[in-house]
Amino acid sequence: MSVSEWIQKGWYKGSPWLVPLRPLSMLVSMEAARRLRRFRKAKPVPPVPVLVVGNITVGGTGKTPLVIALVQAAKARGLTVVVVSRGYGGKTNQYPVTVDAQSAALDVGDEPVLIARRTGAPVILDPDRHNALQVAVRDHQPDLVISDDGLQHYALPRSVEVVVVDGQRGLGNGRCLPEGPLREPASRLKEVDFVISTGGGWSGAHPMIMRPDGVESLQGGHSLSPQDFLRSHPQVHAVAGIGNPKRFFNLLNILGLNITPHVFADHHAYQPADLAFADGLPVLMTEKDAVKCKEFAEPHWWFLPVTASLPEGLLEQILDRALGKD
């Protein structure tokens, strides 16, 4: 078990070894509250409607599928949409960068490429999301800008805040970093516009379910329904380099697959040797992982896209709030 895995286990399952870190966690909590008060006092107004999709915990909670769903719903209204993002996991250090469907995930990060490919919307990368917003407005004249993450980036003005929580893992021990997994105190959830829960119920949150689409070959041109894939390939190597791999593995178990799980770090830069399993069984991975493996994919490598499913009318409600129409 790596140090990172040991720490995360302590955050979510408890560990007395983390208690000495409490003074640092209290400082993080106080600083987060101070920054939020300063932001609320300034009340910056964005040049166009800005919708922030973020979380208050370290690690993945399912933000990207929600961002994709929101972009698709906005484009269905005829709106021009631009996404801004930090672009974690990419090698580039030249910003701002505009990502499209042809961009290399190893250069700009897996999630921006996934968003661009699924939605056709431009994605502007910049650690300074306020600068990314300015570039988006200057170059694309959008009706709406959606920020993938950036809840705590208070240089970015916003119209609406949406927080995604992992309903299975929750908020762990409820402590801020480094004793716990929180970027901000849990009370922050009471101040945002919408709270969305993935993978389990959460009091006061709207549920979001990840529904599997057809299983697709990384080499392209071949897609199977989950049922047909199960009949043809009942046993697979399951690969996940995401914030919560267990969510993906649970989904495969629900589909009836017999899996051998392989966990990689979030945003892992895959090499062919990572997936060279000696038994020749099919390899099934997340779509986020697939965007980084497509260039050297083998014929027996597959990925499972998922679509965010939310209560009827919720996407429209979020968009209306962002556009000032509710």
Is residue 204 helix, strand or coil? coil
Is residue 92 helix, strand or coil? coil
- Angle at the Cα of 159 (from 154 to 164), degrees rounded to 5? 75
pLDDT of residue 295: 92
- Measured between alpha carbons, how far is 241 from 294 in angstroms, rounded to an integer? 15
The CATH topology of domain 3-209+310-322 is: Rossmann fold (3.40.50)
Give the torsion through C-alpha atoms of 96, 102, 105, 111, to 10 deg. 80
Q: What pTM did the predictor assign? A: 0.95
Contact criterion met (CB below 8 Å) for 248 and 238: yes
**Low-confidence stretches of the chain (pLDDT beneath 70):** 1
pLDDT of residue 1: 62
DSSP string across 128-168: SHHHHHHHHHHHH--SEEEEES-TT-TTS--SEEEEEEETT
Q: Which residues are within 8 A (CB) of 187 and not within 5 positions of it... i.e. 6 or more apart?
A: none
Is residue 261 helix, strand or coil? strand
Which contacts (CB < 8 Å, 24+ apart) does range 263-271 have? 264/239, 264/240, 264/289, 265/4, 265/241, 266/59, 266/60, 266/88, 266/89, 266/241, 266/242, 267/88, 267/89, 267/109, 267/110, 267/241, 268/89, 268/241, 268/292, 269/89, 269/106, 270/241
pLDDT in tens, 62-72: 899 999 999 99
- Measured between alpha carbons, how far is 68 from 148 in angstroms, rounded to an integer? 10
| Residue 110: exposure state from Cβ atoms within 10 A (0-12, 13-18, ≥19) | buried
Neighbours of 183 (CB within 10 A): 18
**Pick from 83, 82, 70: nearest CA to 314:** 70
- Listed by start position, the domains of the chain span 3-209+310-322, 214-304
Beta-bridge mates of residue 235: 258
- Measured between alpha carbons, how far is 231 from 275 in angstroms, rounded to an integer? 23
**25 φ, ψ (degrees, to nearest 5):** -65, -40
**Residue appearing with tokens 């970093």:** 177
End-to-end Cα distance, the chain: 49
- Measured between alpha carbons, how far is 28 from 183 in angstroms, rounded to an integer? 8
Is residue 59 helix, strand or coil? coil
